[in-house]
A and B are shown apart, each in its own frame.
Chain A
């Protein structure tokens, strides 16, 4: 009898505990944005001395939006804007969101360091390598450019669930998710780094931070938008001044509009926007211009919901422009 009473008491207690609200900020989403959000979360929790708990998950941009539109998370990290399907899912669940660009990432195309011939590539050349019709056909470097040697091309790229893959295909091939299938795909960028360093004919792409940590083992390709234009190497400056095109992209936070009413989420977001520029540099990402952060803070304060994209991916949008746009739901 006594044992039963204890058991019942335990159960009630655990139920009560479950029902009680924690001062918890839940974030999930892109692995590209993760380093920045993690850095902010770390410093924020240190500042608050543990009074507010923050969890940051890595489910990929798509996986993050799935949870976000079910109302499981307060904030979603995204390396591409929200797409139509996800907008519909959020709308169906009655979830409104504030879209905030928080940094730039430069997608970097990399080669084996001993590759001397392809130091500069045009978007058209990259397209010839990556478009779906190249599958099984474009297998050697001289098929892309006759000046290049008769050497097999080995391709490495981000996995199909990542926002990085979506953006790369959108910017290079012209259609999101449209790519040849015969390349080594991995969500783990270290696998790609290893692959490219082992093969002289290798070509791969991933976020700038992985290149920045491995500059001795890898060589970045200067990207020329059109034939005849000069190639531009990815760097903090070329991303910030907008010359590294079309592979530099803004990355985003999506904040559940309802969560903003919770003081802990509001405080965290204010801290995030105030420190993103400084911390972006620390995690090898490129911060937005100050003006853009100011505009983002204003949008956040005004609870401007919806996306500036309308579910259609775009390449080469300026962040300031984006923040001014009318939000679509």
Chain B
């Protein structure tokens, strides 16, 4: 088949037109997603602005909307996140290292791998029900910071495992072979080379997991934390020997999303402003954590020289 020059030009122009059209549609899709977030954030900010005072962060919840604050909520969120990170990261990283570096390639491993990926998609409320039966009643941990932290750790464990495995896979096989060639054991190879090189990816995975956990409401409500709390957990540092106390782990608590939920179900309009302000704080917390992940990834990657 032969085309004249003119025909070829119109054909190219037509294809280029489609190219532009797709580019435009793609951009619109992107804008739609971002604009929704921006509008939502803007609306929350406008609504909650007047409540975002220093006192808002240092006051306990109250029945008077203008005196109510998020002190117990943000302290609770930080404490729960601490427990979550302390549990999910060692467990998740160890599981991923085993799966990636140690586990034999057979059908058992294949099943476990598929299940880990599937677990990441299990609705969070299911984890809440599991935790209610297991942690709260079976282990007798009650509605404590420890229960909530462990629940959220379970929830983000698949995320941490998947991210860690991706990071481990990005380390070239030649590094492993070089370590073996020098007589390193598998553990020496993992701890001395693969883990340090993949730490950027692992940290990113951990923080993405934690930023999912920080906004979770359903599993925490399920374990029974929808509660008015106007006090702080016991301090982790004490004046008497041994100066460190773990009492706070067993304390009742509330977290940011639950405080918001509580305020939105109030009859008085003024509480809606508090909920909006708490929403802004929660969003900023999440965005800050994501920002931290990007920053860490950038700086740790710079250090690696193959």
Contact = CB atoms under 8 A, between A and B. Distances in A.
Interface stretch (A6-14, A110-118, A232-240, A308-316): A6-14
A57 B267 contact: no
B250 A18 contact: yes
A283 B249 contact: no
B187 interface: no
Contacts of A38: 63, 228
A39 B268 CA distance: 14
B306 interface: no
B270 to A, nearest CB: 10
Contacts of B244: 10, 13
Interface string B190-229: 0000000000000000000000000000000000101111
A193 B279 CA distance: 22
Most chain B CB within a 10 A radius of its CB, from A10, A13, A189:
A13
Contact of B265 (A26, A50, A190): A190
Interface residues of B, number: 28
Contact of A55 (B229, B264, B268): B229
A22 B143 CA distance: 14
B302 to A, nearest CB: 32
Interface string B230-274: 110010000000101111011110000000001011111100000
B1 to A, nearest CB: 63
Interface in B35-91: 60, 62-63
A27 to B, nearest CB: 9
Interface residues of A, number: 41
A189 B246 contact: no
A255 interface: no
Interface of A: 9-10, 13-14, 17-18, 20, 22, 24, 26, 28, 31, 34-35, 38-39, 41-42, 45, 50, 53-59, 67, 72, 188-190, 193, 209-210, 212-214, 282-284
Which 8 A-B pairs rank lowest in CB-CB distance, beginning with the nearest? A14-B246, A17-B247, A213-B267, A56-B228, A57-B227, A210-B267, A18-B250, A53-B231
28 contacts: A10-B244, A14-B246, A14-B250, A17-B234, A17-B247, A17-B250, A22-B251, A24-B252, A34-B228, A41-B230, A42-B63, A42-B230, A50-B231, A54-B228, A55-B227, A56-B227, A57-B227, A58-B262, A67-B224, A72-B142, A189-B265, A190-B267, A193-B267, A209-B267, A213-B269, A214-B267, A283-B63, A284-B267
